[in-house]
Each structure stands twice: as C-alpha cells, then as structure tokens.
C-alpha cells in the first residue's frame, strides 16, 4: 500500500460521521447523494461492511414517492446555506426537495462484485429501495423522454453552461437577502456567481411554495431541462440494477422496459448542429448549444458514435489533464470555475468505465494516468484546472479519495514500473 493509498483511506475516515460521509469538512457538512455513493465505493476497497452502511444510510432517507434526496441534513450546521429551514421539506431527518445523479445502483453493483457472498443479504435489502428510486426517475423525470432536471443542483453539475438558457428564464427578483457560506470556504472565483445563486434559491422557493409537489414542479416550475448526463447515468444504472435483480432472482422486466424507453429517447437530445448530445430547455424546445462533460457520459451508457468520438478527442487534446467539464474552445470556458471548465476525477472515473466497456483501453490508460497525476501532484481536491493542474474547490475531498482507491491509484506502482522498464 502506498502513502497516497493510506492518505486516501484517512480522508474517508476523517469525513465519516458515523454511518454517512460528508464530502469535505466545512464546505459540505451533510450527506450528499452521489458523493455518498462514491464514498461507499471507496470504503469497499478496505471496509466492505462500512461500504454497505453508507448506501443503507443514504437510502433510509428515501421519500414515500421513491425519491432519494440530494442532501440529508442529519445534524444542524449553521455554517451551510441553504440549510433545512430554507428547503422546508418537513422530513425527518430533514432533506432537500430534489434528487441527484442516480449512480447508486451502478456503484452498488461494483461493491457487490467484491462481496458477492457476504453482501448478498445487504444487497437484497437495498434492492427494493433502488427499484423505487429508479421508478421515481422514470415516472417523475422522464415524462418528456430523456431524463429531466428541475434544478441545476439535481444534475450534480450545478453551474455548467448547459443550464444557462434555462437559468435565463428564472425570475430571482423576489429572492431577498441571504448570506452564502460556500465562498467563505473556497475562493469565490471558483464558485457559482451571485446571479446564478439567486436563481438557485428562487427555484428552491418555488418548490417550497407548492409543497414539493413533483408533478407541479415539472409542469409549472421555473426550470425544466433535459440532461444528457443524468440520462446516461440513469440508463447505465437501469442496466446495472437489472443485473443485480437477476442475481437476486427478481423479475427485472420493468427495469428493462425503462432502459429501453430511455435509450429510444436518446435521439431527442442529439444536436446535429453541435454533433453531440446536448441539454435541451423543455419549456421552449431549444438546445443549449454547449458541449459539456455530460455528453461524454454517453460512453457509460454505450451510446457513443463516431461524431461524439471526434468531439471527445478535440476537447481532450485541447487540455492536459482529463476531460474538461466544458468545451475549452468555447467562450464560456473557465478552467477553474466549478463546472464551467475544470476536470473532475469523479467524472473521469465514470467515463473510464464506459471507455473500458467499449474496449478503448488506450483511452482508459490515458485518462487514468492524467487523473492520477493530478492527485499525485496536489492531493485530494474536489476538481482541477485541466490546463495547468491547479487544485480547485474543497481539499481532502471524499470522492476524490475514493476515486484514487478504486481506480486512479489502483496498481499505480506496477504501471509506473512497467513504464520505466
């Protein structure tokens, strides 16, 4: 075990709050949905019972309609905004009112593959909750075909340029005064702008005003966009959930039908002008016209094509480290501002799974090497400048540590030895 391996384990242990893991201390003091799933994957490399516990704690916060919220407020922390009083979902424990990328089934499959015998019972207990969450996505968010989001935070790629056209229509004039906490932990130039944040809060206030009625939020809310990233993550998760269901002796025909419907909807988010998958404003039918990392998650779902291959290589070759979250040749590109340009080890790992399945071992090796170099040089930061490797966002970040243990740092010593030879 290398020194970085032990440091990564220590990050997970330090961010462990007893049954759930925070993304990083201070900046994100609660349990975040997809961060937690990646934490579970990381724990699986050295503590399988703790890995299952992470998923169990996440799924225990599931709403009656099947939604698994994007934040679970297990304990009070006045250092975070917007907290449970702003979301006002009237849940115990308190939660936010939106969801997040449904990676849990895919990562549960990877964990189960490391623990098939001992983990079978824990998987069997989780499985119905995973199915209910996938049904929620199908029934509540795939009503227009592709998976849609009702708030940029639901995408997990909060302020990426994909959402600009939808955000432009959000009226934030009545938001009122509030104090952000994120910019007290991280350089404000690396975070969303105030104008963006005002609109985020306006969307939360709309959800509160309708009692978090998901049907009304989709029908009447200020923001509704088809999200390629969620679409591909959900499609892959449907496939992985079906594998788990079959292993448990379950009838997976319903899950397979969801996957087929979603795959049949992919042409609706293909933008022929962009020559790539693209976000779409479902209120107007307008494409975002922005090439982002969500499009490249097509590889995770086995939905790539030669046109997308060409776009991937163009944007990748324009930077030095990993897949940028926005097109480096576009005016909107900002290499250090959250999802408007930086490279994210966690997204790189998802793309690597898809590239591996497509037999693109050369690209997997390149992506792994570039991601590992970022971490080796600067440690477990949230994201990085893809041009000069400047570390950005929060430090000692759970999912970056998890990605080191599960993928980027795995067999790193052996690979270096081979390279030297």
Query: Among 96, 70, 94, 82, which residue's Cα sits nearest to residue 180?
Result: 82
95 in helix, strand or coil? Answer: strand
Query: Among 287, 286, 285, which residue's Cα sits nearest to residue 277?
Result: 287
For residues 136 and 119, give the distance between their C-alpha atoms in angstroms, rounded to a whole number: 25
For residues 330 and 412, give the distance between their C-alpha atoms in angstroms, rounded to a whole number: 34
For residues 220 and 263, give the distance between their C-alpha atoms in angstroms, rounded to a whole number: 26
Query: Among 222, 218, 172, 220, which residue's Cα sits nearest to residue 197?
Result: 172
List 5, 382, 385, 395, catalytic entry: 382
Residues shown for the chain: 421
382 catalytic? Reply is yes
For residues 69 and 179, give the distance between their C-alpha atoms in angstroms, rounded to a whole number: 23
Which regions of 232-323 does DSSP assign to beta strands (E)?
270-271, 276-277, 280-281, 286-287
Q: Which residues pair with 32 in a beta bridge?
A: 71
116 catalytic? Reply is no
Query: Among 77, 61, 79, 78, which residue's Cα sits nearest to residue 69?
Result: 61
Residue in the block written with tokens 């080796």: 376
For residues 261 and 133, give the distance between their C-alpha atoms in angstroms, rounded to a whole number: 17
Angle of helix 48-59 relative to helix 104-113, nearest 10 degrees, comes to: 160
Torsions phi, psi for 270 (to 5 deg): -90, 120
SS3 content of the chain, % helix, strand, coil (to 5): 55, 5, 40
Query: Among 399, 414, 404, 408, which residue's Cα sits nearest to residue 28?
Result: 399
Residue in the block written with tokens 């990646």: 38
List 158, 162, 198, 395, catalytic entry: 158
Element (H, E) at 392: strand 391-392
- Residues assigned a catalytic role: 158, 382
């Amino acid at each position: 075990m290398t020194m970085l391996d032990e440091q990564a384990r220590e990050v997970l242990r330090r961010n462990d709050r007893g049954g759930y893991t925070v993304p990083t201390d201070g900046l994100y003091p609660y349990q975040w949905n997809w961060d937690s799933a990646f934490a579970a994957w990381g724990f699986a490399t050295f503590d399988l019972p703790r890995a299952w516990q992470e998923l169990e704690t996440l799924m225990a916060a599931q709403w009656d309609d099947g939604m698994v919220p994007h934040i679970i407020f297990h304990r009070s922390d006045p250092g975070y905004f917007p907290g449970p009083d702003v979301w006002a979902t009237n849940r115990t424990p308190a939660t936010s009112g939106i969801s997040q990328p449904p990676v849990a089934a895919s990562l549960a499959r990877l964990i189960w593959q490391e623990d098939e015998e001992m983990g079978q019972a824990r998987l069997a207990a989780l499985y119905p909750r995973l199915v209910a969450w996938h049904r929620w996505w199908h029934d509540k968010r795939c009503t227009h075909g592709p998976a849609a989001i009702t708030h940029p935070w639901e995408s997990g790629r909060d302020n990426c340029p994909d959402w600009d056209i939808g955000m432009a229509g959000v009226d934030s004039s009545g938001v009122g005064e509030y104090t952000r906490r994120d910019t007290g932990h991280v350089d404000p130039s690396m975070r969303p702008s105030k104008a963006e944040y005002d609109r985020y809060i306006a969307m939360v206030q709309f959800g509160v005003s309708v009692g978090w009625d998901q049907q009304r939020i989709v029908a009447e809310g200020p923001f509704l966009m088809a999200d390629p990233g969620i679409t591909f993550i959900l499609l892959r998760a449907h496939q992985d959930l079906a594998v788990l269901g079959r292993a448990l002796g379950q009838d997976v025909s319903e899950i397979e039908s969801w996957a087929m419907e979603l795959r049949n909807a992919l042409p609706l988010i293909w933008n022929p002008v962009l020559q790539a998958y693209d976000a779409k404003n479902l209120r107007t039918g307008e494409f975002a016209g922005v090439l982002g990392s969500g499009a490249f998650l097509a590889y995770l779902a086995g939905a790539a094509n030669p046109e997308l291959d060409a776009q991937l290589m163009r944007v990748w070759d324009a930077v030095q480290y990993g897949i940028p979250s926005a097109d480096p040749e576009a005016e909107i590109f900002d290499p250090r501002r959250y999802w408007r340009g930086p490279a994210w080890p966690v997204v790189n790992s998802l793309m690597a799974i898809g590239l591996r399945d497509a037999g693109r071992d050369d690209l997997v090796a390149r992506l792994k090497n570039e991601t590992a170099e970022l971490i080796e040089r600067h440690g477990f930061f949230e994201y990085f400048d893809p041009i000069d490797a400047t570390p950005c966002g929060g430090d000692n970040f759970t999912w970056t540590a998890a990605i080191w243990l599960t993928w980027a740092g795995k067999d790193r010593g052996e690979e270096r030895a081979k390279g030297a030879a």
